[in-house]
Amino acid sequence: MTLKQIAVRNLMRRKGKAAFVLAGLAIGIATVVAVISFVEAMTGDINHKLEKYGANILIVPRAESLPLTYGGLSLGGVSFEMEEIRETDLARVNSIKNYRNIAALGPLVLGVVKIDTHRVLLSGVDFKTARILKPWWVVDGVFPEAEGVLSGSEAARVLNLQTGSPVNIKGRQLLVSGVLRPTGSQDDQLLFTTMATAQEILEKSGRVSMAEVAALCQNCPIDDMVQQISEALPGAKVMAIQQVVKGRMETLAHFRKFSYGVSGVVILIGALVVLVTMMGSVRERTEEIGIFRAIGFRKSHVMRIVFLEAGIVSVLAGLIGYAAGFAATSAGLRLFIEDRMVHLNVSPGLAAFSFGLALVIGLASSAYPALMAARMDPNDALRAL
């Protein structure tokens, strides 16, 4: 007979109570595991989706003058006569250390053209890349080929353009292949054509005015990417679009904090279940504890019995909670995330953490009941009958 055997025998005798404590703690652990796993998977998914929505790094030619635009409004003449970036130089971006973090690199050539009596910005883009960088673009019509042009909604209104309309730009006859639905951005005011066509019209062969980069920043801080691109293009100015980056990070941080807060509350409830149930159990065992003390058990022996019982239940709760949390996360991901590419991996670190957390919560919650049991006066305990 050992103290451990006494603990196990008592648990077996009070299976209902033991199961209740086990359930309370396991639910708490399962919630923590599910929340952490879900948050990590969702964070990865959200991050991935956010990064798909537009560029987060801009590459522009280095210029001495300050730009005179703010929030899309030009407050002075925007000069496009600065030295552009060579296309061959831009190719160096694909050789940086973290080139795998580049989801898309979209060069633009910009220039002002006159159509009828209106001055309008013409932009030459790689439409394949543009579709990655600007997934919110919805085209009434189709994307243009070499002799085509895509009109922003505002430009189409001002220039009275629609799909199929001819448009003469610097003596070159182009056909409107489509009109962008309103985006709420400066794209509404532009005309878009292929890079080669725009370079010919604007006489900027082999050069681009700027480039947009969509960088995947989950495993690489944005500042590192900016630094690496700057080193590859010493003649260009490389900037992170701070608002976009900060906004993303704040969204993820809020989501994470809320989730952890909820799981903290559930864990607290689990701990209270353990505390109250163990206290009730100790009160019911007044006679038994009196016997233990009368036959020579020290207070520490009595406490050890209570902790052993709590420890055994906690270990089981950790195992069951982890398995249940993992299963719940798998089910939740299938329900809430459409992207089948989101993966849930078995994490040994999380398993060890949940196991350890169950043990800590179970033992900590049993501390007061254990102390209560140890402090029982054997004489009073035996006389209580």
Q: Which residues bind another protein (CB under 8 A)?
A: 1-3, 5-6, 9-10, 12-13, 287-288, 290-301, 377-379, 382, 385
* Cα 9 from Cα 207, distance rounded (Å): 82
Q: How far is the CB of 320 from another protein (least distance, A)?
A: 25
User: Which of residues 73 and 295 has its CB atom nearest to another protein in the complex?
Assistant: 295
User: Which of residues 2 and 117 has its CB atom nearest to another protein in the complex?
Assistant: 2
Q: How far is the CB of 370 from another protein (least distance, A)?
A: 15
Q: How far is the CB of 278 from another protein (least distance, A)?
A: 17
* Cα 168 from Cα 175, distance rounded (Å): 9
**Using CA of residue 117, residue 120, residue 124, residue 129, what is the dihedral sign?**
negative
Q: How far is the CB of 290 from another protein (least distance, A)?
A: 7
Contacts of 97 by beta carbon, 8 Å cutoff, 6+ apart: 228
Among 137, 109, 106, residue whose Cα is nearest residue 123: 109
Among 280, 285, 275, 264, residue whose Cα is nearest residue 362: 275
User: Which of residues 2 and 65 has its CB atom nearest to another protein in the complex?
Assistant: 2
User: Which of residues 359 and 371 has its CB atom nearest to another protein in the complex?
Assistant: 371
Alpha helices by DSSP H, 117-241: 127-133, 153-159, 195-201, 222-232
User: Which of residues 10 and 123 has its CB atom nearest to another protein in the complex?
Assistant: 10
* Cα 19 from Cα 36, distance rounded (Å): 25
Q: How far is the CB of 268 from another protein (least distance, A)?
A: 32
Residue 178's φ and ψ, nearest 5 degrees, are: -175, 165
Q: How far is the CB of 273 from another protein (least distance, A)?
A: 23
Look at strands 236-240 and 210-215 and give their pairing: unpaired
- Residue 196 region by backbone torsions, left for phi larger than 0, else alpha for psi between -120 and 50, else beta: alpha
User: Which of residues 6 and 90 has its CB atom nearest to another protein in the complex?
Assistant: 6
